[in-house]
Amino acid sequence: MYSRLTMAVFTPTSLSEALLALAESPAATLLSGGTDLMVELNSGHRRVVSVIAVNRVVELRSWRHDPVAGTLHLGAGITYAEIASDPIAQWVPALAQAARTVGSPQIRNAATIGGNLGTCSPAGDGLPPLAALDAVVHLAALGAERSVPFAEFMVGPKRTARLPGELITGVTIPLAAGWQGYSKVGVRNAMVIATASAALVTDTQTGSVRLALGSVGPVILRCPLAEAHAVEHADFAGLSISEAAVQEFAVLSRDAARPIDDHRSSAAYRRHAVGVLAARLLRRAFPNG
Amino acid sequence: MAEAADMTDGPIGSNEAYSLHVNCERRDVRDAWVGESLLFVLRERLGLMGSKGACEQGECGSCSVLIDGALVCSCLVLAASVVGQQVLTIEGVAPVGAPTDVQQAFVDAGAVQCGFCTPGLIMATHSLLERSAEPTELEIREELSGNICRCTGYGRIIEAVQRVAVARRSRASS
Amino acid sequence: MTDAATRTELRGRLGDSVARPDGVAKAQGSFAFSGDLTADGFLWGATLRSPHPYARIIRIDVSGAWKINGVEAVITAADVPGAATYGLISHDQPVFASDVVRFVGEPVAAVAANHPDTCRRALAAIVVEYEVLVPLTDPERAIDGSHEPIHPDGNVVRHQRIVRGDQTIEGPVIVEGTYQLGMQDQAFLGLEAALALPDSGGDGIELFVATQWLHEDQKQIAACLGFPVEKVRLTLGGVGGAFGAREDISLQVHTCLLALRTGRPVRMAYSRQESFLGHVHRHPCTIWMRHHAGLDGRIRRIEARFVFDGGAYASTSSAVLINGITHTQGPYKCEHATVDGWAVRTNNLPCGAMRGFGVVQACFAHEGQMDKLAAAVGLDPVAIRLLNAMETGDRLITGQVIENVAPVARCINETAALPLPDEPVGGHDGNPLRLPGGTGLTADRSHIRRGIGWGVSIKNLMYSEAFDDYSTARVRLADGVASVKFATAEVGQGFVTIAAQIARTVLGVDDVVLEPIDTTVGSAGSTSASRQTWMSGGAVDGACRLVRERLFELVGNAHGIDPLRLAIDGADVVDTDGPLRVSVVEASAGVLIEETFEHHHRPTEDLDEDGQGNCHTAFAFVAHRAVVDVDPELGLVKVVQIATAQDVGRALNPLSVIGQIEGGIAQGVGLAVMEEIILIDGHVRNASFTDYLLPTFLDMPDVEISLIEEPDPMAPLGAKGVGEPPTISSTPAVVAAIRDALGRDLYRVPVRPSDICL
């Protein structure tokens, strides 16, 4: 049986309890860090009848570096505060940089990577690094498990491939051997939603460059043309690339963006900004020539 | 064209009962509504008015409390979900009339004007100094960046935090 | 004169940086803000608001709300027993809309119920049928008459010209520009909240509320309730900041009506989103200015046209307009002017008082003009301002002579003397927090350009145009303890601290008790217009002096000494021409001396149809220099440092003054680079702290301050008001610095990234 704290709020401590609760109460609302759900509850935009709070589920609070597989697995309940600092940060610098920009220290102590994936906003800070790293999202339901590459997991703005009865249990990130980084544009220097963001991951072993853009489309956008162009023109040994190639990379990145106008920013600015971010990130990855 | 707000009239759910650990005491909550935040329960059911609500979105830090030692916004915590965890509010930091060194430093340094942000900042400062005893100015700014102040412009608050760090260091070395 | 023993008794006097008396309670969370007050058996109140900027109300059906368990009252315009409308200058704003709604958020109904969520559901169950109308959102259309009147009072709240001197002067140097300011919000943290306790007979009410002017609230509430004024008793609930947003009525009448209707205490508290809709904002403004100057850069004539968008209701727009246009010239000599000023009504959010009150807008324009003038004549920004700097004895373009201390040149020179930042772009340590973009890691230092810019301002103090905004205080002395009673709204600015310092200084006592702030004493006027230190400080000082006079009479009679020879020295009454020294404690033992004093400033005048007249009371001056780092490709800005020298007269509490300066600068920075309520066709897009951005710890620059203390003989304590100047010229200084970094013109605040890089 699962733990019942009150009539309406269940707090399971094991994954099997959580999945059983979810199977028995399909109308229950999942609660992780609360930083998205509570905003909606407080404003009256959403009502709940019953809640399954997964922040005590032991399996979701674990993480593991696997040196043999070359992966980092993060349980869905790992917080952004934990991701932003060592021992986790060292494995995924781009994700750690993104984590540092999430909300505020208070938000980072509560917000979880699983919650961020569950909400799947195009402005979610942790998402572009996951996309650029080709992370894999793990889902579980009672008696079933599956894994979905991030690109297939996020299907639209705040829409995911998660099915009713499924719980996000974690994410596995293949580690990359090379420079990686994240940049986020916001009007102020803390507690700001990205008007444009980008994550760049290079791998000197595989000779790859991966770029993911946030806040400039209905989903996190990868830029295959820009990536191919970078691979063609970058010297992985000397860590160099020509200025002309960097500028072309920026053009291709801008072309991949599909931004909209909203109250935070204009499509024109967003498109311009991701080009600038892409160019600067590429130059950081290949600082020479 | 008639208009009504788009809200379904669901079951009330106003009979929640649970116990919380707040400021090292067991506090019982009765006849609560399922959607109540910890901030609401602290203030309206437990009479702990020290934590303040200024945005309901976790964007100002006025509601900051510690849960199992971690600084969080209580407006973003579903009250019933923290059963079994230790909640520390501003009231639990020190008895009334016996302010901590942080609280006194805020007052002495001119870091308190209207005071609405102050309890949240006291919580955040205590949390910061637990983790980093001698923070640089940039560290102070970043660690307190989740707390908005509209009156002071932050300068006197930074001064207050630095004074505490210096005083604690000299007490430790003496 | 004083030895070490008496020196310790002299703490807490004027000039000391005394800690505020409510500071520990605030730091411990035990200080009661208005939202913390509660009463047995209370109900929650909540307000139904219009979703449309302009619509006719066809019908309101509240029956659905009554079907919800826990609802105890549902009220609309039909339930307002007294005056249907209220307002600070004209009473044009309905308690509840009855036939038409004129802005998004206008109150239409209110409910009282047993839980905030019950209130929410009750509001959702009220059906309002609207006929949506085309809103008036362009202030120019309010002026040209092309839109029907949206209010019986018409679409123009006020029009005023200023015509002075030779209207034919042209050039030889001419610079012009059109400047725009977006809508800033006061965004105080302490959300609107009140507690109303109805009298058992239902013929009176007690209200605890966070507000700026108790007596003005009392007057309006009583009129709307149909009660005599004395039946409406107000006590100040702790105030979590104000900055102008609490001058107008928000929830006061609604809370009282619900309490009287139910016969039970009612608490009302706004959410942040509701707060954005429920109070007035800073006027968006478009200002065209043209400066005519000599080849040397001296101003000869200024032309200007101001349009203030006052939104749906008049509030204080009329006064904001006058403040704005009378400050057209800035702190500079100018003898010839042609100014046209409009305050108009639209279906945008109502606008009214916000720290700076029209002068923020004028200053942004005149400082942009001064930099253009400097460039046109080949002078630097400091030189052009020193060349034109106003002095005591100069005139405003209204003809009024500046009689105050007017140390404009000194403000500029002392600001210039303050050190520039010692950290280069990106800092010596290369910490990304020092760069624009911060932890967003958007730039390396090679991407950044640094700029320096200036802003200088004049600001009137107290109310204008023949308004007698007096203040009252009552002081009692008994057994060595002074009790001070006033209705001055303490909103965080520290008047409660100063009041005690005044009493200690004048009466020589250490023990000062501050009595509850309520309507049982005379009006203190509004906590606004940088006026309370001067006016309420003057009232407390005046009452203390009367008490001291009586004390000296007592002592004089007891010892056979002429009271005129007596003085306070430290904590004693002394004979200035003899050996007598008796402590104030002893001298006041067993007696009760009580005096009440009203402090009035000298009368001011209306403006005539050419805008001529001595309409202002007094003036203060300030200069700001901003250093900013700009990322020209991304348009991100980091304000690195603001240096300022402010004309404060006398720093009665230096720490409090610094607090006002730093806090005001934060609001000026906010307006410069991030704060704006975004309205599209009258709808608010960002009524939350997620998208209405206030400066955080990581956005606030270092501040270097020089206090210029030339005591003003016109001020009762020599001290000028300090609250508004910091927020006035800091904004144009930041924008000027961005222009300097880019070499590009910017004419709008807040400056958006796209304004910089696209």
ipTM: 0.97
What tens digit of pLDDT does each residue of C216-225 get? 999 999 999 9
> Model confidence at C7, in pLDDT bands (50, 70, 90)?
very low
Looking at the predicted structure, is the pLDDT value of residue B6 above 60?
A: no
The tokens describing B45, both together, are 């059911």
Average pLDDT, chain C: 97
Across residues A257-280, what is the average pLDDT?
97
Average pLDDT over residues C596-624: 98
Domain co-membership, C526 together with C579: yes
- Note whether residue C516 is domain-resident: yes
Q: Which of C49, C271, C431, C441 would best serve as a mutation to test chain A binding (most A beta carbons within 10 A)? A: C441
pLDDT in tens, C479-497: 999 999 999 999 999 999 9
Q: Which of B16, B77, B145 sits opposite A38 (nearest CB)?
A: B77
Predicted confidence (pLDDT) at residue A63 exceeds the cutoff of 80: yes
Average pLDDT over residues A282-288: 97
In terms of domains, do C725 and C662 share one?
yes
> How confident is residue B11, by pLDDT bands cut at 50, 70 and 90?
very low
Tell whether C147 is covered by a domain: no
- Residue-wise pLDDT tens digits, B113-160: 999 999 999 999 999 999 999 999 999 999 999 999 999 999 999 999
The alpha carbon of residue B19 is apart from the nearest alpha carbon of chain C, in Å, by 21
Residue A1 has pLDDT above 90, yes or no: no
Picking from C33, C689, C694, the nearest residue to B116 by CB comes out as: C33
Q: Are residues C93 and C222 in the same domain?
A: yes
Residue-level pLDDT at A7: 59
Summarize the confidence of residues A149-167 as an average pLDDT: 97
Distance from CA of C632 to the nearest CA of A (A): 11
Kindly tell me if the per-residue pLDDT of B4 is higher than 50: no
Q: Which chains pack against C, by 3+ Cβ pairs within 8 A?
A: A, B
C624 plus C642 within the same structural domain = yes
| Closest partner CB to C758 (pick from A97, A269, A280) | A269
CATH classification of B12-92, choosing from 3.30.930.10, 3.30.420.40, 3.40.50.300, 3.10.20.30?
A: 3.10.20.30
> Which residues of C are less than 8 Å from A194 in CB distance?
440
Same domain, C210 and C322: no
Q: Do C693 and A276 touch (CB under 8 A)?
A: no
pLDDT tens-digit readout, C246-275: 999 999 999 999 999 999 999 999 999 999
What is the mean predicted confidence (pLDDT) over A109-134? Answer: 97
C207 & C345 share domain: no
**Nearest of C230, C168, C233 to residue C205 by alpha carbon:** C233
- Domain housing C622: 285-464+606-757
Interface test mutation site (partner B, options C17, C20, C28, max chain B beta carbons within 10 A): C28
Measure B174 CA to nearest chain A CA, in Å: 33
- Do C409 and C445 lie in one domain? The reply is yes
- Domain end point (choices C559, C581, C599): C599
Span C401-423, mean pLDDT? 97
CB contact under 8 A, C238 and B115: yes
Residue ranges with strand state E in C555-701: 566-569, 572-575, 581-583, 593-599, 618-631, 636-647, 679-680, 683-684
Using the Cβ of B110 and the Cβ atoms of chain C, whether some distance falls under 8 Å is answered with yes
pTM assigned to the model: 0.97
Confidence (pLDDT) at B14: 67
Which of these CATH numbers, 3.40.50.10800, 2.10.260.10, 1.10.150.120, 3.30.420.40, describes B101-173? 1.10.150.120
Residue A2 has pLDDT above 60, yes or no: no
Contact A107 B58 (CB under 8 A): yes
CB contact under 8 A, B13 and A106: no
State yes or no: pLDDT of B41 exceeds 60: yes
Q: What is the pLDDT of residue B129?
A: 98
> Quick one: pLDDT band at residue B3, thresholds 50, 70, 90?
very low
The sign one gets for the Cα dihedral B164, C651, C703, A189 is: positive
Determine, for residues B106 and C31 on separate chains, whether the beta-carbon distance falls below 8 Å: no
Answer yes or no: are the C-beta atoms of A183 and A277 closer than 8 Å: yes
Cα(C219)–Cα(C215) distance, integer angstroms = 6
Asked if the structure places residue C161 within a domain, the reply is no
- Work out the average pLDDT over A218-241: 98
Please state, for a pLDDT cut of 90, what percent of chain C lies above it: 99
Q: Per the structure, how many domains does chain C have?
A: 3
Output B48-51 pairs: Cβ under 8 A, ≥24 positions apart: B48/B22, B48/B23, B48/B89, B48/B91, B49/C29, B49/C32, B49/C36, B50/B89, B50/B90, B50/B91, B50/B119, B50/C28, B50/C29, B50/C30, B51/B89, B51/B90, B51/B119, B51/B120, B51/C29
In tens, the pLDDT along C631-685 reads 999 999 999 999 999 999 999 999 999 999 999 999 999 999 999 999 999 999 9
pLDDT confidence band for A190 (50 / 70 / 90):
confident
Burial of C138 (0-12, 13-18, 19+ CB in 10 A): middle
The more confident residue out of A151 and A27 is A151
Domain ranges for chain B, please list them.
12-92, 101-173
B85 to chain A: nearest residue by CA? A56
Residues C102 and C218 in one domain: yes
pLDDT exceeds 70 at position C108: yes
Q: What's the confidence (pLDDT) of residue A27? A: 84
Q: What CATH number does the domain containing C117 carry?
A: 3.90.1170.50
Does the distance separating the beta carbons of C662 and B156 come in below 8 Å?
yes
Examine residue C505 and state whether it is found in any structural domain, yes or no: yes
CA distance B143 to chain C (A): 9
Do residues C703 and C587 share a domain? no
| Res B174: pLDDT | 81
pLDDT digit string (tens) for C326-376? 999 999 999 999 999 999 999 999 999 999 999 999 999 999 999 999 999
Report pLDDT digits (tens) over C411-421.
999 999 999 99
Residue A6: pLDDT above 80? no
- Each residue of A35-44: pLDDT tens digit? 999 999 999 9
What's residue A49's pLDDT? 86
Please say which residue of C546, C575, C599 terminates a domain.
C599
Quick check: A104 and B83 CB within 8 A? no
Candidate from A183, A263, A269 with C-beta closest to C442: A183
Residue C151 lies in a domain: no
Q: How far is A190 from chain C (nearest CA, A)?
A: 6
- Per-residue pLDDT band for A175 (boundaries 50, 70, 90) equals very high
Interface of B with C in 38-77 (CB under 8 A): 40, 43, 49-57, 59-60, 62
Residues C577 and C631 in one domain: no
Q: Which chains touch B (3 or more CB pairs under 8 A)?
A: A, C
In a domain, C720, yes or no: yes
Task: Give the nearest partner residue to A185 out of C440, C444, C698, using CB atoms.
Answer: C440
The pLDDT, as a whole number, for residue C333 is 98
Whether C611 is covered by a domain: the verdict is yes
Whether A6 and B18 lie within 8 Å, measured CB to CB: yes
Under an 8 A CB cutoff, do A187 and C753 touch?
yes
pLDDT (0 to 100) of residue C10: 58
Mean pLDDT of C578-589: 96
- Nearest-by-Cβ selection for A34 from B76, B84, B147: B76
User: A107: which residues sit within 8 A by CB, 6+ positions away?
Assistant: A35, A80, A191, B58, B73, B76, B146
CATH code: domain of residue C334: 3.30.365.10
C441 and C524 belong to one structural domain: no
Is residue A278's pLDDT more than 60? yes
Contact C418, C452 (CB under 8 A): no
**C740 belongs to a structural domain:** yes
Give the nearest partner residue to C28 out of B2, B96, B151, using CB atoms.
B96
- Asked if C300 and C449 sit in the same domain, the reply is yes
Which of C277, C434, C634 best tests the A interface by mutation, with the highest count of A CBs <10 A?
C634
